[in-house]
Copies of this chain bind each other. A is one copy, B any other.
Amino acid sequence: MFKYVFGVDLGGTTVKIGLLTTSGEKVDVWEIPTRTEQNGKYILGDIAKSVRAKMEEKGITDSEVMGVGIGAPGPVDSKGVIYNAVNLGWGKFNLEEELHSIVKLPVKAGNDANVAAYGEAWKGGGKGYSNMLLATLGTGVGGGIIIDGKLLNGATGAGGEIGHIHIEDEEEDTCGCGNHGCFEQYASATGAVRLAKRELVASNEDSVLRSENDLTCKLIFDAAKAGDALAKRVIEKYGYYLGKGLAAVASVTNPEVIVLGGGVSKCGEILFDLLRPSYEKYVFPGSANVKFALAELGNDAGIFGAARMLIDKD
């Protein structure tokens, strides 16, 4: 009878590891550095050592552990093969088999954004729903899609990469992916700042944002809430694009709930009011009746989702 499961959230600078019970209670959460030197050759060994040390510390035997789930910053296919995690210096290899051969426990691997969606669906903003879309609004826009309780990984692990659907023909700036008019050029935190800078250049209108040297998404939303007219227009535009992009994804995947996570989601439920007009305008009517929710697990979504992959596997 399994009592425990490990969830690993592998990032570019730190690895967050969670020891959870199989019903999803946190027993312990800690971090180790991500050693990216020499093409990241130490990373999996470090994780295995840390997991094994924790088992010894807590007196946990192999037979009590369901396994180790790991979310990694790159596309991971359904066989556990990771493709080109550039931040870690990794090429293409079977992450599940490799980590399993070192840690000697069952391993399940997934893309970090998809895994976070799994966490939110299990214990966070999407709890109780089988069909969920998580949009992570941070430096970029990531996504994870849960269909009938399962992750949509896609052929090469690029499923749920909602940040790069095209939503604006008139865009002249280039997205990080090389295209123009990608969803994440507007709906990320960076996108909100970009929209604000454009609005500031377009007029001489008074705005508290003019005195900010280091514009952030939070400053823009705070200014809008305090009544700044220009900031208000910026967040309305932000909401327009957020709703438009989510409508495209929801028209295809028909979720019950759309969960907003990432830094921008800290702005709160005002986001729902901002996005709803364009969401309703652009969505296929059959997918219009959706609930919106905020992510609840913050940085813990990855460890919960990673652990959950194991529980699902058995």
A residues 177-235 near B (Cβ < 8 Å) are: 177-179
User: What B residues does A150 contact at CB under 8 A?
Assistant: 147-148, 150
Task: Check if A165 sits within 8 Å of B252, measured CB to CB.
Answer: yes
Q: Among the listed B78, B152, B244, which residue makes an inter-chain contact with A253, where contact means beta carbons less than 8 Å apart?
A: B152
When all copies of this chain in the complex are counted, the total is 2
Task: Decide if the interface of chain A is mainly helix, strand, loop or mixed.
Answer: loop
Query: Closest CB-CB distance, A121 to chain B, in whole Å?
Result: 13
Cβ contacts A279-300/B at 8 Å (1 or 0 each)? 0011111110110000000000
A48 lies within 8 A of chain B by Cβ: no
Task: Check if B159 sits within 8 Å of A147, measured CB to CB.
Answer: yes
User: What B residues does A252 contact at CB under 8 A?
Assistant: 143, 145, 159-162, 165, 248-249, 252-253
Q: A165-B252, A169-B169 are in contact. List 9 more A-B contacts (CB 8 A).
A: A78-B148, A143-B252, A148-B150, A155-B290, A156-B286, A156-B289, A158-B284, A159-B253, A249-B252
> Which A residues are within 8 Å of any B CB, using their own CB?
75, 78, 129-131, 143, 145, 147-148, 150, 152-166, 168-169, 177-179, 244, 247-249, 251-256, 281-287, 289-290
